[in-house]
Structure 1
Amino acid sequence: MRASLNIAHRGFLCLTAFLASSSVVGNAAVQGVAAEYLLGLGIGDITGPVVETNMMGYASLAQTDTGLHLRQRSRAWIVADSANPSNRVVFINADIAMGDTGIRRSIVNALSTKYPDLYNNDNIALVSTHQHSGVGGYLENLLPQLTALGYVKETAAAIVQGTVLAVQRAHDSLAPGSLSLGNTTIVDGNINRSPSAYLANPAEERAKYQYDQDKELSLLRFDDVSGNARGFLSFFAVHGTSLYENNTLVSSDNKGMAAYLYEAMVEPNAMPGNNTFVAGFTQSNVGDTSPNTLGAFCESPGEEWDGQPCEFDHSTCGNKTEDCHGRGPGFTISDFESNRIIGQRQANGAKTLMGMALPQVTGAINYVHAYMNMSFREFTLANGSTAMTCPPAMGYSFAGGTTDGPGAFDFIQGDNTSTPQNPFWEIVKGAVTPNPPQVQIDCQAPKPILLDTGYATFPYSWSPNTVDIQMLRVGNLVMLIMPGELTTMAGRRMRDAIRTKLISEGVIGEDAYVVIAGPANTYAHYVATREEYAVQRYEGASTIFGQYTLESYMDKYGSLVGYLADGNTSQPASDPASPDLSGSAISLRTGVVFDGAGIGHNFGDVSTDVASTPYSAGQSVSAVFVGANPRNNLRLEGTFLTVDRLVNGAWTAVRSDSHPSTTYQWLRTSTILGTSTANLTWTIESGTPAGTYRFTYFGDSKSLGGTITPFVGHSGNFTVA
């Protein structure tokens, strides 16, 4: 049977109370129109350096980007009270692996400076799609910087710049409108990648739910006063790991693909990023989810277990983790096809809801934000006993990885002993903290500590001790902005606890609807249930604040429910914010020295041209150009390539580097000479009009003196039959 929480969610009905008003949006007057809310939607390009930079998510030194598949974007939604427009919330959904304290601080500072009376630290939420194919190096703490060779300023700057632009565009588009809310089931959009840990939860609790993974997509629809859809914000739990660890093309994984597919369906003639309809596919309680829906199999050529399902309890093949890999629905074709399929399934779920008459959302706008220091935080459990969270630490199974991205050496999931003695990790352990103090060992038990990051402060903090606690309320919808990855059951408990509080304290009635959005604002790794923590699979080992992490969040978020009540304008007392680490950040990456075209060549020259024979749908056409390092100019809000069609004697761009049918691949051919190539590829889609086409390559070269000069190159013409 379905969970009672979801039944209650599905059953709510409420009528929107439209208010005639004349309000002020920014500096522009909005004429009197019947609407309870002012709504704004915007989008911005946040793509960092697409080459020579480690990618964020799998934490693999070998995964250094070599080009671009899909640009990363931030999408923003603003909901304001039409009767009191300064009362508003901002929800940002960014195509990044996780939220970050430093990134959020910079975004808040920029917006609060530009709009001092409207946007602040309390009403802005920075949520991630948790994709694993984006540009890395932007997080403030040292642990996630290690594989990126430190802090990557260009990545961080691009995220901040594009996100602020998305919010500005949302602000400028504010107009009266209405909201509605509903949900639908996507059965084939995810699986549980740690089913043995899920089974550790009480049988009577598991019996409340049909699946061991949340299958529901919740959607908040944004309409103008005429009932025309301007966009939506949806919530569905599935990891952004459709693209595998060996991928080196920057992309936005299945959430970004879903957004592209939906926005292109609504505005097929708009270049991606220039659309006005904004489709939001937000991450939810993602912790133990996987998009690799065929399951995990052994890829061990020559071994008897090759091609067999991985061992159930530990996800191993021959007692090793390296060969156990999850397979997406397009496995026989490519991980990019799996990515498209999972994205399409989410888009189809949203399309189903957008085609229905959904119950309208009505009621107050409110928000609450506080900082919470999780190191040795004592609080009272529901049974009256005292519990405590711990300074951050990673367990041994953290190094075992998951079926989406297996670990290495002799670490496996579900091993709560400290027996592995791999020399590499022993050196790493010693560099972090030689011996965790006994109080930390006891606090983190039964987790054996691999990396005691809470006590690692050289050259600056390895992990956050303080997290953002935030909730946004829009009518009967409450969004829990979570600083970590909650597992399926952890998310269910969290939603149920807060919904119960909202109703019991009279903040919202029985139609209260609660969703989880994260990992957001601060990245504090995972949140497993106590039962899952005891099993110590990857998610439990990565629950950095100890076994009572979930209960601590439930306690704190629950204590702040009253601040969401109608008419409340106060904010709670708060622990101090995390220190600003930007002044301490180190980077071992070298900049671009110079670019060379090579003797007898110019930047943008074609070195390998398109074929002269006609192409047809399904075929790929490519051209190779004399290139320059794309780090010289990220071309935010622009493109490294276009596919142009000849129409009535003039060239018209019909594809860019933001279309999934194109790829931009860069290759350094000589470090000494500074030469490189750019390979542009287009896989021709079904339905492409017959005609004459060409590639255009946009680049920027850097001289020895540091001058950056833009250039343009064109391929020869080719025909599509």
Structure 2
Amino acid sequence: MESAKAIEKSSLLELLSTPRDDTRGQQGQRRGWWYYAGWSAMILFALLTGFHAFRWVTAPGAVYSSHMPQQIDDELVAKRLAASQRAHPLLLHHQNDGQKQVRLGGKAQAYSTSGSAKDGQYLIGVGKADITGPVVEINMMGYANFEQVGSGVRQRLYSRAFIVGDLHNPEDRFIYLVLDTQAGDTAVRYGILRGLQELGSDYAMYGHDNLAVTATHSHSGPGAWLNYLLPQITSLGFDKQSYQAIVDGCLLSIRRAHESLEPGSLTAGTTKVFGANINRSLYAYLANPAEERAKYNVSAEDDGSVEKDLTLLKFRRASDGKNIGVLTWFPTHGTSMLANNTLITGDNKGVAAYLFEKKVREREDETDDFVAGFSQANMGDASPNTLGEWCDDGSGEREQDEGAASCFEIGKKQYEAALDLYLSMDTMPANVKGSGVKAFHRFHDMSDFQFQLPNGSTARTCSAALGYSFAAGTWDEPGHYEITQHGSNDSNTNPAWRWIRWVIGAPSQEQIQCHSPKPILLNVGKTRFPYHWTPDIVDLQTFRVGQFIIIVSPGEATTMAGRRWKEAVAESSKVQLADEMGGNEPIVVFGGPSNTYTHYITTEQEYGRQRYEGASTLYGPHTLAAYIDRTKALLPLLRDDAPGRDSNSSDTGPLPPDNSDKSIGLNTGVLFDTTPQSHSFGDLIFNVGKNQFRRGEKVKATFVGANPRNNLRLEETYAAVEHRPRGESEWKIVRDDSDWALVYQWKRTSLFKGTSEAIVAWDIEDWTEPGEYRLRYFGDARSIDGEITAFEGKSAAFMVR
């Protein structure tokens, strides 16, 4: 269409006319000499020492390193399950008692098998659990910014589990996890699988082949939990507390989903979301063939440069017709919160899930523990920062809120579109039908894979490497070394990068040719000391329920890369899975980054432009083609007559390393907490200031605090708003630190003395009920001998008018 082409052309001209080395993302900053020194020192120290002298050793069976007092495996899971059972007494819990299975309460999982998959009946279950790791003193994962160290919580992080199974073949099922983290990860996945094995025979049907660990790609969660060295560097290595919080929360969400399994139906629908994403690498996108782009260029508002489609899958149980959850797929980066944000959040998809769950739980048609998963899709080049680049000259109005207002707005757009679609499906019959539930998973070595392209020519992948534009960053967060996208190489960049390249190891001529036209900056695939910097062995995984197919991608695929992958699977499934489709057109969605983080996946044409995404495509220009080739080759495993999981689960391919027990770890523990003279923990330092507030105002109080790493308070809270209804004596919690409007912050006031302060702040919402309120703080102090003691603080009461 002419109008859309004109917009496409003007956008490109504007992009090309922008001096890329003079622009920054919102509130972005250039870095000084110390930033170079930080990267250089970390890498040099890793190479010289292997960090092994600094590892915090964990005893066999322990959850945290010795300096971490809290164990959250058996003890905490039992505590969290007990709390869950009190809230939901019909849940069935199993625990091992030798060879005996002990039922703790509720009804047994006895399912009627009168329905069939062809009638749209499957086994379905959902669950949700807290995975919020250390909220302070740990570098945040996503922006690779040494300065971005956690200082508190705006919103807790969760694992949301969705299980779909075959009614007649209980071994045929899959788990789809949506985590409020930057990516799925190999070490986390290994930890979950070990935990599932320890849960006993009831969970024996779950393994490598049917567990998908996907992420919303939030850049505002604590780091130091990933398996490979490169993403560990800015987080000062690996932190057991951060890692185990994710693993244990995932396990608890799976247990809740598994124990809620019962027959039900699935209904799929699609809608459009406008204003929630924009292509941040239009120059690369326009390298794709014009005729291919034209297929998706439908209007000025939907010009195809990013996908606007949101696909929703509704879960409804058969016993009472109540809806138990939804899964959605929509592509936009988890970078609404900026790199200067230091509060933990699930970013825009965390907001969307929070709003959706809060809204629908008010209805009679939904369960009280309804779960909404807002999964990522092919968002490699899709930014939520839809106003584009902001320049250093400070022109234009912008809120100094680290991206919070924009984050809420982008999340709200996804929530509103999903809710409208969801409500319109109330009277729609279940439309996911067809034969059975199947899953496959294979590990595949991508370092040197030769295969045949559809045109008959031979292609190969390369050992992993990152190009110069990887260090340039994007407009969501520009790089820090004056490297520009699509223009930098070893001859025109800061000497610090050449030094780092030399330390890691220069690429061979063969490696240079394989990755061409990428100018290689970091030859990470050939670096093994002290352990792998990036993965060689990647996860290939796809799920099918009826005609609904989920591609589980280990990397961030760009808009067009994801389209090609989905379309290849859809076309192949029409032939290879024709009997399983039940006469329906396949519905194919794309979820990632999942299982292990392999950075980006671009089309070959986009790769040639060598912007950030192409430079971050680890395995060379044929990376996407290799993924498509392997996925199509494995599609027959989704047939009904494919071998069962017990007979093919051993054929997983070469196993990737699990570095969780040998990773570096330079984050020190909490030594002790003390209070200022004449004060106790939880005492008020600054009260709320007045006794009456209006809606829209902020109320806050400051307390004598203690380090929140002493207790992650999983499934609990650091802060709360309490309300006392008129005429009553009891205070009731009406907000906690999972609520967007309530913020908990912590700051150390003296490292030597071990003193600190906690700030609880509430932006009073417009819909707040008038009445009497107060702020609460919940903390845990560590004595010099290591004993942890819980305490509480409260503000004076105040009125909201």
TM exceeds 0.5?
Answer: yes
8 Å contact from structure 1 (residues 416, 447) kept in 2: no
Match of 1:322 in 2: none
| Corresponding letter in the other structure for 2:409 | I
Match of 2:260 in 1: 173
Task: Classify the secondary structure of the residue corresponding to 1:32.
Answer: coil
Match of 2:383 in 1: 290
Match of 1:255 in 2: 349
Q: Answer yes or no: is 1:32 the counterpart of 2:112.
A: yes
Take 1:458 and 1:31, find their aligned partners in 2: how far apart are those partners?
Answer: 52
| Corresponding letter in the other structure for 2:218 | Q
8 Å contact from structure 1 (residues 410, 420) kept in 2: no
When structure 1 is superposed on structure 2, of 331-340 and 358-367 the one drifting more is 331-340
Match of 2:474 in 1: 402
Task: Classify the secondary structure of the residue corresponding to 1:279.
Answer: strand
Q: Answer yes or no: is 1:494 the counterpart of 2:494.
A: no
CA distance change for structure 1 residues 704 and 275 in 2, over 3 Å: closer, same or farther?
farther
TM, length-normalised to structure 1: 0.90
Q: Which whole-Å deviations, capped at 9, do the CAs of 1:129-155 have from their partners, x for residues lacking one? A: 001101111101000000000111111
State the Cα distance separating 1:337 from its structure 2 match: 1.2
Task: Classify the secondary structure of the residue corresponding to 1:621.
Answer: strand
Q: Which whole-Å deviations, capped at 9, do the CAs of 1:155-186 have from their partners, x for residues lacking one? A: 11000010100000001111111111110011
Q: Which has the higher helix share?
A: 2
State the Cα distance separating 1:649 from its structure 2 match: 1.0
State the Cα distance separating 1:33 from its structure 2 match: 6.9
Query: Where in structure 2 are the equivalents of 1:59-98 lying within 5 Å?
Result: 59-98=144-183
Take 2:112 and 2:577, find their aligned partners in 1: how far apart are those partners?
Answer: 32
Of 662, 671, 695 in structure 2, the residue corresponding to residue 593 of structure 1 is: 671
Match of 2:126 in 1: 41
* Structure 1 spans left out of the alignment, 5+ residues: 2-23, 308-326
State the Cα distance separating 1:410 from its structure 2 match: 2.3
Match of 1:310 in 2: none
State the Cα distance separating 1:566 from its structure 2 match: 1.5
Of 123, 128, 137 in structure 1, the residue corresponding to residue 224 of structure 2 is: 137
Of 759, 775, 781 in structure 2, the residue corresponding to residue 695 of structure 1 is: 775
8 Å contact from structure 1 (residues 25, 85) kept in 2: no
CA distance change for structure 1 residues 99 and 187 in 2, over 3 Å: closer, same or farther?
same
Q: Answer yes or no: is 1:58 the counterpart of 2:143.
A: yes
When structure 1 is superposed on structure 2, of 80-89 and 620-629 the one drifting more is 80-89
| Corresponding letter in the other structure for 2:376 | Q
Of 439, 449, 454 in structure 2, the residue corresponding to residue 377 of structure 1 is: 449
Match of 1:312 in 2: none
8 Å contact from structure 2 (residues 541, 552) kept in 1: yes
Take 2:130 and 2:212, find their aligned partners in 1: how far apart are those partners?
Answer: 18
Of 337, 344, 351 in structure 2, the residue corresponding to residue 243 of structure 1 is: 337
8 Å contact from structure 2 (residues 113, 167) kept in 1: no
When structure 1 is superposed on structure 2, of 418-427 and 598-607 the one drifting more is 418-427
Query: Where in structure 2 are the equivalents of 1:594-613 lying within 5 Å?
Result: 594-613=672-691
Take 1:646 and 1:34, find their aligned partners in 2: how far apart are those partners?
Answer: 50
8 Å contact from structure 1 (residues 46, 159) kept in 2: yes
Match of 1:535 in 2: 609
Match of 2:749 in 1: 669
8 Å contact from structure 1 (residues 389, 548) kept in 2: yes
| Corresponding letter in the other structure for 2:510 | V
Q: Which whole-Å deviations, capped at 9, do the CAs of 1:456-504 have from their partners, x for residues lacking one? A: 1111110000101000111101100000000000001000001111012
Task: Classify the secondary structure of the residue corresponding to 2:204.
Answer: coil
8 Å contact from structure 1 (residues 645, 653) kept in 2: yes
Take 2:771 and 2:536, find their aligned partners in 1: how far apart are those partners?
Answer: 59
Take 2:681 and 2:189, find their aligned partners in 1: how far apart are those partners?
Answer: 38
Take 1:414 and 1:268, find their aligned partners in 2: how far apart are those partners?
Answer: 50
Query: Where in structure 2 are the equivalents of 1:116-195 lying within 5 Å?
Result: 116-195=203-282
Task: Classify the secondary structure of the residue corresponding to 1:361.
Answer: coil
8 Å contact from structure 1 (residues 416, 536) kept in 2: no
Task: Classify the secondary structure of the residue corresponding to 2:702.
Answer: strand
Match of 1:428 in 2: 500
Take 1:121 and 1:415, find their aligned partners in 2: how far apart are those partners?
Answer: 41
Query: Where in structure 2 are the equivalents of 1:426-505 lying within 5 Å?
Result: 426-433=498-505, 435-505=506-576
Take 1:165 and 1:105, find their aligned partners in 2: how far apart are those partners?
Answer: 15
Task: Classify the secondary structure of the residue corresponding to 1:584.
Answer: coil
Take 2:179 and 2:401, find their aligned partners in 1: how far apart are those partners?
Answer: 28
CA distance change for structure 1 residues 269 and 249 in 2, over 3 Å: closer, same or farther?
farther
Task: Classify the secondary structure of the residue corresponding to 1:39.
Answer: strand
Between the two proteins, what is the percent identity of the paired residues?
45
Task: Classify the secondary structure of the residue corresponding to 2:288.
Answer: coil
Take 1:54 and 1:562, find their aligned partners in 2: how far apart are those partners?
Answer: 43
Task: Classify the secondary structure of the residue corresponding to 1:30.
Answer: coil
Q: What is the aligned residue count?
A: 670
* Structure 2 spans left out of the alignment, 5+ residues: 2-91, 95-102, 116-120, 298-303
8 Å contact from structure 1 (residues 416, 446) kept in 2: no
Match of 2:599 in 1: 525
CA distance change for structure 1 residues 269 and 714 in 2, over 3 Å: closer, same or farther?
farther
Q: Which whole-Å deviations, capped at 9, do the CAs of 1:8-41 have from their partners, x for residues lacking one? A: xxxxxxxxxxxxxxxx998824353754211110
Task: Classify the secondary structure of the residue corresponding to 2:534.
Answer: coil
| Corresponding letter in the other structure for 1:469 | L
Match of 2:8 in 1: none
Of 371, 381, 394 in structure 2, the residue corresponding to residue 278 of structure 1 is: 371
Query: Where in structure 2 are the equivalents of 1:561-640 lying within 5 Å?
Result: 561-570=635-644, 571=648, 573-640=651-718
8 Å contact from structure 2 (residues 113, 168) kept in 1: no
Task: Classify the secondary structure of the residue corresponding to 1:277.
Answer: strand
Of 342, 355, 361 in structure 1, the residue corresponding to residue 423 of structure 2 is: 355
Take 2:255 and 2:722, find their aligned partners in 1: how far apart are those partners?
Answer: 31
8 Å contact from structure 1 (residues 39, 78) kept in 2: yes
Q: Which whole-Å deviations, capped at 9, do the CAs of 1:605-646 have from their partners, x for residues lacking one? A: 000001233101100000000000000000011100111111
Query: Where in structure 2 are the equivalents of 1:328-347 lying within 5 Å?
Result: 335-347=403-415
CA distance change for structure 1 residues 29 and 268 in 2, over 3 Å: closer, same or farther?
closer
Q: Which whole-Å deviations, capped at 9, do the CAs of 1:63-88 have from their partners, x for residues lacking one? A: 00111000000000111111222321
State the Cα distance separating 1:422 from its structure 2 match: 1.2
| Corresponding letter in the other structure for 1:173 | S
Alpha-carbon RMSD = 1.9
| Corresponding letter in the other structure for 1:475 | G
Of 688, 692, 710 in structure 1, the residue corresponding to residue 790 of structure 2 is: 710
TM, length-normalised to structure 2: 0.81
When structure 1 is superposed on structure 2, of 170-179 and 366-375 the one drifting more is 170-179
8 Å contact from structure 1 (residues 263, 275) kept in 2: no
Take 2:266 and 2:699, find their aligned partners in 1: how far apart are those partners?
Answer: 44
| Corresponding letter in the other structure for 1:592 | V
8 Å contact from structure 2 (residues 550, 589) kept in 1: yes
